[in-house]
Amino acid sequence: MGALRPATTQELKKFREVRDRICTALARGDLRLKSGDTFDVKSVAKRLDQKLSPPVNRPKRVDEAIPKESEYVDYVKKLQLRQLSLLELQSFRQKWESVELSIDLTPAEKLVRDWVNQSIDTLAKCDVTRFNYNEGYDAECEKVIDSIKPQLEEWQIQSKNRLSVENFRTDFPTIFSDEPSKPRVDLTKFVKAETVHFGKQSAIEESRHPILTVEKVIQNLSTAPRLGSELHNYSIVKGFEKILEKIYQEACRLFMEQLIGPLSLVLAKPLQLKTSLESIFESVKEEDVAWREKLFQDFYVTLANPAMVFEQLKGLPEDEIRIRSALRNHVDFLASLPVKQRNGLQQASSDPSQFAKQLAEIEDHLKNQRANLRLFLNFRTEATILDVPVKRPFVEHLYNQGIIDETTLTKLNPPDGLSRGNYLKALGTQEEFNRGLMKKFQHDLLDALAASKGKQERVVAHTARLLARSQVEQLEIQAKSIYLTPDLFATPPSFKFDKALEIFRPGNIEEIAKSPQDAKMLAKAYIQVCLPMKNSHGGYKSGIDRFLTRIKIPQSGYHSVIADPLLNVDERLSAIHLEPLKEGDWRLQGTPWARLTVAARDNLNSLVHKIYTRRKAHDAMVANYIQSNADIQKFEQTHLREIPSMIKIIESCLRDAIVDEATTSSRRNRSFMLPIAS
């Protein structure tokens, strides 16, 4: 071979490609060379050593000529080890990422769904029965429209015929699936409500901020269930609510038109926001709390609300996680203990100080039992860790986001770090922390508003739009309180739709718009328009991140349990490890996963269990991967001159590699792409 020279950029790129292909080939374990030799670390290293012997290799002194293991054996071995570790981690990651957080009706709801479907099928099969049902339903719909016709005609005039009384009949849904020209009633919502009405299960909340709905009325009915008549009346209510949606839009439009003039005068000079902000921040009303949380997330570009920030700083119960994992991993040792000591450890697993006392008693008991003492020491090493001072990068991260101030940063993350015990003392209670956090937030808002600049016309128009929406939402709450009553399902029903629509008469809207605007409502709208909102926080990192953020479990700064190759696995899973999810789990109530399927729940519990019981093995795999990668990079950096030749040698190995049929049959479950060059 000719003289060696450093590899070019293009050659380095090609080298990495062929190197990665031979890594995969070595990890397969079912290949052989055409010569008959096994395709393994030794055969590949042997070829590299033969081809890169002097004069290609650097000259060796006579005393170095003694035969010894090739330096390429260690290099190729590291390539194989790195690839095997990577494949194992990828396999685990694929299992984790394939977790489906499926939601579905509960078994009780599916039973009621069958009853509802049977009831509808019975009506549909008989032409006479179906005709009579539709005739009665149509007559009831016409009666409803007639009862609210005066209000509808007013809105038809106000909207300049965007709304038409004649078209409202088409808003009422059908219960039959074979009438595609009509909107279909949402049977799923009806079924969920009726399941509670039948007493088959308690109400399942899918939102943390529930509002009054017709479904809630059904859930709380004290009368015996009557599926037929209740579905009939439910459909009528849904038709009316569709009409209401259209009127809401026109009401917002009218509000805006009426508010533009007065707001232009009010906003011509700076608003005195401090008093209104203080009132909003002191309020415990649900709508004010929700508004503050949403504004906090938007202003600081975070998915965390103030309560979650405290949970993230407090962190997970690391001691309990470690103790529980050790208890699961040392079953044989625990079985050797007296029942009293074994139960004592289990009962103290959530209290580190009590657990330490139990350990001391057991150590004293085992001091003369060498074999059991060794098992005990292994258990204690895994279950406990010294509470040494450490730095906390997540605190720095919150400071960089602007969420906490410099005083809090210094207190929670001093230069020399804090032990966990001292850190929790410095953090204080959630009430104290939240008070300081919201005080800073309020101060930051006022500073940002003082510095904000915007065109007057834009500010007025956008403030009017938000204020109009808020006013209409308030009227909607009033309207619903009028018609959403048990009387909807009485015999005969009392719908009260006309009384509800009285609130939405155009004249009433104009009167409200002319009156002085609520200071808090105006402040909220103005702040949302004027604040210089930053770029979006980008949403959740993954489906499981969204799930873990929104269910009711302790939060922490986002860190993976194991390492980067397992990006979607994070520490918050420890809550499920400590207490697996169960049917009707309170942690899922008020979230989109309140109806998590049994299969999804069991699969998630199983995977979380595997993560924590195999944590040491995965840590070792990651460590192997990282160390092998570092060694490989170091070797390649010191052998840059050999790389052009190594490309040709590795390609020749790949060309000579063929499948060994004798070993393939035992490896059917492993399907890696054959990386042989064509």
Helix (H) or strand (E) holding 658: strand 657-659
DSSP 563: -
The answer to whether residue 162 scores a pLDDT higher than 50 is yes
Cα–Cα distance for residue pair 39/20, rounded to 1 Å: 15
Closest listed residue to residue 330, CA positions, set 379, 294, 371 = 379
Cα–Cα distance for residue pair 112/193, rounded to 1 Å: 10
The answer to whether residue 16 scores a pLDDT higher than 80 is yes
DSSP 390: B
- Greater confidence (371 vs 223) lies with 223
Cα–Cα distance for residue pair 411/399, rounded to 1 Å: 12
The answer to whether residue 343 scores a pLDDT higher than 80 is yes
pLDDT in tens, 228-265: 999 999 999 999 999 999 999 999 999 999 999 888 88
Over residues 402-429, mean pLDDT: 92
> What percentage of residues in the chain have a pLDDT greater than 70?
90
How far from the centroid of its chain's Cα atoms is residue 450's Cα?
Answer: 35
Residue 532: its pLDDT value, please?
67
- Structural tokens at position 602: 């069991």
The answer to whether residue 568 scores a pLDDT higher than 80 is no
The answer to whether residue 646 scores a pLDDT higher than 80 is yes
For the chain, state the CA radius of gyration: 35
For residue 537, what pLDDT band results from cuts at 50, 70 and 90? low
Closest listed residue to residue 2, CA positions, set 635, 632, 648 = 648
Closest listed residue to residue 540, CA positions, set 297, 209, 307 = 297
Residue 560: its pLDDT value, please?
44
Domain boundaries, the chain: 108-266+459-530, 273-315+390-454
For residue 440, what pLDDT band results from cuts at 50, 70 and 90? very high
- Structural tokens at position 501: 């629509």
For residue 66, what pLDDT band results from cuts at 50, 70 and 90? very low
Residue 3: its pLDDT value, please?
55
- Greater confidence (109 vs 347) lies with 109
89-103, 117-131, 335-349, range with greatest mean pLDDT: 117-131
* Cβ contacts of 128 within 8 Å, gap of 6 or more: none
Q: Are 317 and 431 in contact (CB under 8 A)?
A: no
Cα–Cα distance for residue pair 203/221, rounded to 1 Å: 13
Residue 665: its pLDDT value, please?
52
- Structural tokens at position 525: 């709208």
Pairing mode of beta strands 31-33, 657-659 = antiparallel
Over residues 57-69, mean pLDDT: 50
Residue 57: its pLDDT value, please?
47
Cα–Cα distance for residue pair 537/557, rounded to 1 Å: 15
Over residues 618-622, mean pLDDT: 78
The answer to whether residue 565 scores a pLDDT higher than 70 is no
Over residues 510-517, mean pLDDT: 88
The answer to whether residue 315 scores a pLDDT higher than 80 is no
Q: Which residue has the tokens 């009218």?
A: 254
Residue 130: its pLDDT value, please?
94
Half-sphere exposure at residue 562, Cβ-oriented, CA atoms within 13 angstroms: 28
- Greater confidence (107 vs 554) lies with 107
676 φ, ψ (degrees, to nearest 5): -95, 130
Cα–Cα distance for residue pair 340/447, rounded to 1 Å: 62
What pTM, to 2 d.p., does this model score?
A: 0.75
Q: Are 235 and 133 in contact (CB under 8 A)?
A: no
pLDDT in tens, 454-478: 778 888 999 999 999 999 999 999 9
Cα–Cα distance for residue pair 352/350, rounded to 1 Å: 6
- Greater confidence (677 vs 383) lies with 383
- Structural tokens at position 670: 């492993």
pLDDT in tens, 181-229: 899 999 999 999 999 999 999 999 887 666 899 999 999 999 999 999 9
How far from the centroid of its chain's Cα atoms is residue 435's Cα?
Answer: 27
183-197, 312-326, 360-374, 632-646, range with greatest mean pLDDT: 183-197
The answer to whether residue 271 scores a pLDDT higher than 90 is no
